[in-house]
A and B are shown apart, each in its own frame.
Chain A
Amino acid sequence: MNQLLWDLGDGLVVRTYVMDDADELFALVDASRERLRPWMIWEPTTTTVADTRAFIRSCLDSTDYEGNGLWRDGRLIGGIGLSLDTLANSGEIGYWVGDGHEGQGTVTRACARFLDFAFDELGLHRMELSAAVANARSRAVAERLGMREEGVARDGCRVAAGYLDLVSYGILEDEWRARRGER
């Protein structure tokens, strides 16, 4: 169980979900369902608050950092997580935002904090991010973070409507440090 609590300023907070968040998390997913469906593999399997409870429980029981909410002024606006590949000493970041909360740069700020955490505190060598080729908003996050596009896995993931081509981005520890101006 790995719990995070980061104040990113301007009322923006990253906090690990606890069981008491299940109702609010499910409500936001449910209200944003139509927009999430084309991209999120977990949308079709999140049909009741019991699914959300099971998700939070599995996150709390895992050694990754997958289940975190993005909160603005105390209100849940999206989710973000980091999964680890311990053999490769790398991690992968994933995120979503609820309806009405897009386009405010919150995901990019939260991702930047996760990259700091991954390289400074976890000592990872590399971070990855995958997005559907057609998901321009998600790809823009990776590009703003200075991640490099490395390839396209054809039909690399399956969502409700079928398989999607997945573009993968990567950034290495020294690249992130250079970007922060440490060299």
Chain B
Amino acid sequence: MRPDLHIELGGGAILRAFTDADAEALFTVIEANRVRLARWFPWVDAATDASSQVAWIEARAGDPRSLDANGIWVGDQLAGGCDLLIRPVDDIGELGFWLDEEFVGRGLVTRAAQLLIACGFEQEELHRVQLRAGVENLRSRAVAKRLKMREEGVMRGAGKVGGGMYVDLAMYGLLVDDWRLTR
């Protein structure tokens, strides 16, 4: 993560890296959305209290290249998260995001992802950004389409979600050359 990451998203929204002081707010939003998020994400069960979130934020500080552990904030309210994990062995980035239910449908994730991807390609010289989304997670897949990512396949049973269930994941990819053409 980049502790100094701070990106204006417009309309009073920002994307900035979490600090330990955000752990309580982060846990509160996850708790309020627990069942919704557990439908698609494997990490929800590990969010047991605020201190679990402190541990996660501190662990992510050990990866100084990735653009991850970021919150989307609207005013002083935490609206969600958007991450770009970087695989140093081949300069490929993996995108991930989630939202509090109250903030769905405002384009916040699309905007945050666009700006993180731009950082990844321009500053980190990534070659490819990829995203995996539950096949039935139509909102996430709509974000991938808006980001001009190309659907490349479906990995059956590749996502373990809440309650020990498995979901098929659609895989999307965006190459730096294609991204430049869309700009």
Report how far A158 CA is from B91 CA in the complex, Å: 9
Contacts of A157 in B (CB 8 A): 90, 92
For window 153-183 of A, CB contacts with B under 8 Å fall at 153-158, 163, 168, 170, 172
Q: Among the listed stretches A1-9, A72-80, A84-92, which one makes contact with chain B, having 4 or more residues with CB under 8 Å of it?
A: A84-92
Q: B158, A170: Cβ atoms under 8 Å?
A: yes
Instruction: Given A41-B89, A41-B90, A87-B43, answer yes or no on A154-B175 (Cβ-Cβ < 8 Å).
Output: yes
Interface residues in A, total, Cβ within 8 A? 22
Question: Does B64 belong to the interface (CB within 8 Å)?
Answer: no
B interface majority secondary structure:
strand
Question: Does B173 belong to the interface (CB within 8 Å)?
Answer: yes
Task: Identify A172's interface contact among B128, B153, B156, CB under 8 A.
Answer: B156
Instruction: Given A153-B130, A155-B127, answer yes or no on A89-B160 (Cβ-Cβ < 8 Å).
Output: yes
Closest to A171 in B: B156
Q: Among the listed stretches A13-21, A59-67, A114-122, A144-152, which one makes contact with chain B, having 4 or more residues with CB under 8 Å of it?
A: A144-152
Q: A154, B128: Cβ atoms under 8 Å?
A: yes
Question: Does A125 belong to the interface (CB within 8 Å)?
Answer: yes
Contacts of B157 in A (CB 8 A): 90, 125-126, 170, 172
Q: B156, A126: Cβ atoms under 8 Å?
A: yes
Task: Identify A151's interface contact among B91, B159, B171, CB under 8 A.
Answer: B171
For window 81-127 of A, CB contacts with B under 8 Å fall at 87-90, 125-126
Digitize B123-167: 1 where CB-to-A-CB distance is under 8 Å, 0 elsewhere: 000011010000000000000000000101111111110000010
Tell me the smallest distance from the CB of A89 to a CB of chain B, in Å: 5
A interface majority secondary structure:
strand
Interface residues in B, total, Cβ within 8 A? 23
Q: For B91, B130, B154, B156, which residue has the most chain A Cβ atoms within 10 angstroms?
A: B156
Tell me the smallest distance from the CB of A64 to a CB of chain B, in Å: 15
Q: A88, B42: Cβ atoms under 8 Å?
A: yes
Contacts of A41 in B (CB 8 A): 89-90
Tell me the smallest distance from the CB of B86 to a CB of chain A, in Å: 13
Q: B159, A156: Cβ atoms under 8 Å?
A: no
For window 14-59 of B, CB contacts with A under 8 Å fall at 42-43
Report how far A41 CA is from B87 CA in the complex, Å: 13
Contacts of B42 in A (CB 8 A): 87-88
Tell me the smallest distance from the CB of A171 to a CB of chain B, in Å: 9
Report how far A148 CA is from B154 CA in the complex, Å: 11
Tell me the smallest distance from the CB of B123 to a CB of chain A, in Å: 19
Contacts of B89 in A (CB 8 A): 41, 158
Q: B152, A148: Cβ atoms under 8 Å?
A: no
Contacts of A156 in B (CB 8 A): 92, 128, 130, 173
Q: A151, B154: Cβ atoms under 8 Å?
A: yes
Report how far A153 CA is from B89 CA in the complex, Å: 16
Contacts of B92 in A (CB 8 A): 156-158
Tell me the smallest distance from the CB of B83 to a CB of chain A, in Å: 14
Instruction: Given A151-B171, A158-B90, answer yes or no on A87-B156 (Cβ-Cβ < 8 Å).
Output: no
New A-B contacts (9) at CB < 8 Å, excluding given A90-B157, A150-B153, A157-B90: A87-B160, A88-B158, A128-B155, A128-B158, A148-B156, A150-B154, A150-B155, A152-B153, A158-B92
